[in-house]
Amino acid sequence: MLVLHDGALVTRDHELPAGAQVEIRPVVSGGAGGPRCVVCGAGAVHEEPRHRASWCPTHLQDHVANQVRRAIDHPPGAPEGARMLHYGERVLIAVSGGKDSLALWDVLHRLGYHVDGLYVGLGIGGYSTRSGEVCRAFAAERGLHLHELELAERYGYTTPSGAGASGRSTCGVCGLSKRHAFDEVAVEHGYDALVTGHNLDDEAATLLGNVIRWQEHFLARQSPYRAGRGPTQPRKVKPLYRLSERETAAYCVVAGIDYVLEECPLVDGNTGHELKGALDLLEAPSPGLKAQFLFGFLDRVADHFDDEVDDDHLASLRECRSCRLPTPNEVCAFCRQRERILAVLPGAGDLDAEPR
Ligand code: AMP
Ligand code: ZN
Ligand code: ZN
């Protein structure tokens, strides 16, 4: 967890005044380390057992930017010389209002990339209202462009109503809808690359889940870099895969980024959370284990990304009859799900049966 006093991060060595009010922000894993910045020797505000390092606010921001830069310059699984992003191209980042995607948008903007945002309104009550507000404020403060798409307006259902109508899990309906919305906006506006804020904890948990169930197809495609293929398939990248959620949360605090602290209220029972919890248990006595697990996989499997598995898959793609995005079937999984939802949703009969 992170401890804040007066809006600033404190380590266990800080002395606080009597009666001081502190804020505890839960994030994944904890740990100890040196209290001095490894770069300049000033008082550290963040310790990272995995790196056996601590940083002052300035050098913590440099550390985060350096890890993002390294991911962009040397993406695992990419052909020799390929980069996640190029200066001058048009980039779209999906922002949820949470710490990861806003920290990443800030870093990319500071590094000089031209990045627009996309917020997808999922219709999850006050949680969605607050998430949208935070994204809007972030963009406005920096003069950045934010696209907004409301599931209800565009597709005729929200995450809760869609899950209720289809009988599928909320996370399943939500994930498929979000990914489709990202693709649709990226393709409509001709972006070269689509960025998401998936971090080291997210990617390690996904990897563990895919290994446990031996989802070979997903394993072969789990890369923070997915090459673009023409105008309907922008490059997809995850430049935060080298950073933990503790690091992105700490970055937001020292960079003065306001983000939504609350978790999605519908997340209960989400297996992704249980996998993260399991990895945290393993990481606590062995800092760095999560990174070893993920990076070890990427190092070993990187050469096989984008080979036959992918070529076969790509060769089988055609246009979805309904939304026109690439799919191996006649109608894509998103459009099939949407049809099922609208067939049972009260009042949905008034809506156009075709997306858009
Ligand atoms: P999650 O699937 O919630 O772990 O989020 C993973 C990434 O998806 C985030 O870092 C964002 O880049 C993106 N994302 C999640 N929710 C939204 C949303 N409502 N609108 C736009 N992007 C989102
Ligand atoms: Zn320093
Ligand atoms: Zn479709």
- Given a cut of 70, whether residue 348 has pLDDT beyond it is no
Question: What spacing in Å lies between the alpha carbon of 296 and ligand 3's midpoint?
Answer: 35
Question: What spacing in Å lies between the alpha carbon of 113 and ligand 3's midpoint?
Answer: 31
Measured by CA distance, the residue closest to atom 8 of ligand 1 is 196
Q: What single string gives the DSSP state of each residue in 220-250?
A: HH--SEE---STTS-EEE-TTTTS-HHHHHH
Question: What spacing in Å lies between the alpha carbon of 3 and ligand 1's midpoint?
Answer: 25
49: enclosing H helix or E strand: none
307 vs 158, which has greater pLDDT? 158
**pLDDT, mean over the chain:** 91
Where residue 17 falls (left for φ over 0; alpha for ψ -120 to 50; beta otherwise) is beta
Question: What spacing in Å lies between the alpha carbon of 62 and ligand 2's midpoint?
Answer: 9
At 171-221, the pLDDT tens digits run 999 999 999 999 999 999 999 999 999 999 999 999 999 999 999 888 888
Ligand with smallest separation from the Cα of 336: 3
- pLDDT confidence bin for 7, thresholds 50/70/90: confident
Ligand with smallest separation from the Cα of 181: 1
Q: In the CATH hierarchy, which fold is given to the domain comprising 60-261+289-350?
A: Rossmann fold (3.40.50)
Q: pTM here?
A: 0.89
The ligand 1 atom nearest the CA atom of 197 = 10
Structural domain boundaries in the chain: 60-261+289-350
Given the structure tokens 């959620």, which residue do they identify? 245
